[in-house]
């Protein structure tokens, strides 16, 4: 029998029982991918992380699983894993190996305690959305204030801009129609200046996410590309209040529309529990 220890943390918040939930299995050496998938399904969070020995010069390698599939990259799992691993390592920067590349995460501390992290995300590519009418109909809105575009950084997100935060909060999408859009995050946002409110619907799974780090960076890029934000300005994004998990994310795009140089996303995380799985046979854990 092998014991697998895990840490539960809430990401993109500084308050327990808010933000986006995450399970971090701190040593997944020898765990087969199908067992990782089963454990992620057992945990039931939007994502679970499995920490492995680094292979490409980083400090650690992670594999990220939803309850149904593995992801090459996701924002809150990467940041949450950096908080969990960074606490004992006492490093200013962790380099986390993901399926979408090596993600550097800078950590800020108060004494020994990690209080904030900022990660440099994969640079997203953008493309036009052909089925805009289908997207708007699924959301139950008439139009978007900005062009509806798709961004890809290992996971895909598209963005719909509404006139007010109140309209974002009141949105009641047709989840069955959203599911027909496929494996894409549908983000609906509003705001001005440096303050925005966002809701993200995982179309393929027909669920709403509490805090979406992989969408925060592309949102900053989207605002810069369409003149709502200057490159180098950091925005604050509120998300998750509608599902009882208020979250706060920070995002900044550097460079220019013609040459995007760096996209950073930051936030807090708090550990809320520790646990372990014991009922696993050794033969279940062989790759």
- Strand partners for 91: none
Q: Is there a single domain that holds both residue 191 and residue 251? A: yes
Find the CATH number of the domain harbouring 197.
3.10.310.10
Q: What is the pLDDT of residues 234-266, one digit of tens each?
A: 999 999 999 999 999 999 999 999 999 999 999
Q: Is there a single domain that holds both residue 88 and residue 33? A: yes
Fill in the DSSP letter of residue 104: E
Q: Is there a single domain that holds both residue 165 and residue 31? A: no
Q: What is the pLDDT of residues 66-89, one digit of tens each?
A: 999 999 999 999 999 999 999 888
Classify burial at 281, counting beta carbons within 10 Å of its beta carbon; exposed 0-12, middle 13-18, buried 19 or more. exposed
Give the SS3 label for residue 182: coil
What's the rounded Cα separation, in Å, for the pair 20 and 66?
13
Alpha helix ranges (H) inside 150-276:
165-170, 175-179, 213-225
Q: Is there a single domain that holds both residue 170 and residue 244? A: yes
Q: Is there a single domain that holds both residue 206 and residue 137? A: yes
Count of structural domains, the chain: 2
Q: What is the pLDDT of residue 204?
A: 86
> What range does the domain containing 231 cover?
125-267
Q: Is there a single domain that holds both residue 129 and residue 248? A: yes
Q: What is the pLDDT of residues 164-193, one digit of tens each?
A: 999 999 999 999 999 999 999 999 999 999
Q: Catalytic: which of 34, 42, 47, 92? A: 47
Q: Is there a single domain that holds both residue 154 and residue 37? A: no
Average pLDDT rounded to a whole number, residues 104-123: 95
Q: In the chain, pLDDT over 90 holds for what percent of residues?
A: 90
Q: Is there a single domain that holds both residue 130 and residue 226? A: yes
Q: What is the pLDDT of residues 203-233, one digit of tens each?
A: 888 899 999 999 999 999 999 999 999 999 9
Q: Is there a single domain that holds both residue 150 and residue 245? A: yes
47 labelled catalytic: yes
Q: Is there a single domain that holds both residue 174 and residue 232? A: yes
């Amino acid at each position: 029998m092998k014991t697998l220890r895990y840490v539960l943390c809430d990401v993109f918040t500084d308050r327990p029982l808010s933000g986006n939930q995450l399970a971090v299995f701190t040593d997944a050496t020898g765990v087969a991918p199908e067992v990782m998938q089963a454990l992620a399904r057992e945990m039931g969070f939007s994502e679970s992380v499995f920490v492995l020995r680094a292979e490409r010069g980083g400090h650690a390698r992670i594999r990220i699983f939803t309850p149904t599939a593995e992801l090459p990259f996701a924002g809150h799992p990467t940041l949450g894993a950096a908080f969990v691993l960074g606490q004992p390592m006492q490093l200013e920067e962790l380099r986390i190996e993901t399926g979408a590349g090596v993600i550097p995460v800078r950590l800020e501390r108060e004494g020994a305690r990690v209080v904030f992290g900022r990660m440099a995300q994969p640079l997203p590519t953008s493309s036009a959305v052909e089925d805009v009418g289908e997207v708007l109909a699924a959301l139950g809105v008439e139009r978007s204030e900005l062009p509806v575009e798709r961004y890809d950084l290992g996971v895909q997100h598209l963005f719909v801009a509404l006139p007010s935060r109140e309209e974002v909060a009141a949105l009641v999408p047709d989840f069955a129609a959203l599911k027909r859009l496929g494996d894409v995050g549908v983000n609906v946002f509003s705001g001005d200046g440096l303050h925005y409110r966002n809701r993200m619907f995982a179309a393929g799974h027909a669920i709403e996410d509490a805090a979406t780090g992989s969408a925060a960076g592309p949102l900053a890029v989207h605002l810069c590309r369409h003149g709502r934000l200057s490159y180098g300005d950091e925005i604050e994004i509120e998300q998750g209040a509608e599902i009882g998990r208020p979250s706060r994310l920070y995002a900044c795009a550097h460079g220019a529309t013609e040459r995007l140089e760096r996209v950073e996303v930051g936030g807090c995380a708090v550990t809320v529990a520790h646990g372990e799985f014991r009922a696993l046979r050794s033969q279940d854990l062989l790759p």
